[in-house]
Amino acid sequence: MAFSFGLCLLLFEKNKEALQQFEIAYQLNPADKQASKFVQMSKTSLASQMNKEGTSDKVITSTQKYAPSPDAESLLPFKWVVHANSVSLILSVGSYKNEVFAERADEGFEGNGYEWGSLAAIFIEEIMPELAAQIQFEPKASMFCAYSTDGEALERFALGFKAACEDDALIRDLFSRAELD
């Protein structure tokens, strides 16, 4: 629960609070590699933010190659999040493309993050297979998250996936092959 809440806080750029939640998740389960990774990414991201605001003299240069998408507006409602060693594409589910998921509600689809993950996996497999090794998914019930250490690859995925979502015929065709998690 703390890990998912931390991801949500990242969505709203509440980096300090997100770090606290990731630390709680890690303390509850020290074997959780995702929680450990997000603790480190959040610490570095927070240090970078503080440096930009002039509140810290610690310089983080590794984030420079993970610049935000040049046109973040074109990704809405997806959100681009820069971490120390990776970038994420996050969607808070429930307010975008609900009509697509509703078409398969009788099969149990609700439009949750896991189902968005299934849809994104079909998209990668069929439309951008060259990115399969660079893009990972970490969906949760209330959010979809794709991430990569290759910012350029994630940006290509993000722009392509958003364009596919805006093409009703294409997104419905891809969704027809999505599976419940």
Percent residues over pLDDT 90 in the chain: 49
What average pLDDT does range 19-25 have in this prediction?
Answer: 75
Average pLDDT over all residues of the chain = 81
Report the predicted TM-score, pTM, of the whole model to 2 decimal places.
Answer: 0.66
The predicted pLDDT at position 161 comes to 96
The predicted pLDDT at position 58 comes to 32
pLDDT in tens, 42-57: 776 666 665 555 543 3
Q: How confident is the model at residue 97 (pLDDT cuts 50, 70, 90)?
A: very high
Sequence-ordered list of residues with C-beta below 8 angstroms from that of 69, at least 6 positions apart, any chain: 75, 80, 155, 158, 159
Residue 60 has pLDDT above 50, yes or no: no
pLDDT in tens, 126-173: 999 999 999 999 999 999 999 999 988 999 999 999 999 999 999 999
Nearest to 53 by CA among 8, 11, 15: 15
Instruction: Check residues 36 and 150 and name the one with the higher pLDDT.
Output: 150
The predicted pLDDT at position 43 comes to 74
Contact (CB, 8 A) for 19 and 42: yes
Residue 98 has pLDDT above 90, yes or no: yes
What average pLDDT does range 73-88 have in this prediction?
Answer: 86
Residue 61 has pLDDT above 80, yes or no: no
Instruction: Check residues 18 and 68 and name the one with the higher pLDDT.
Output: 18
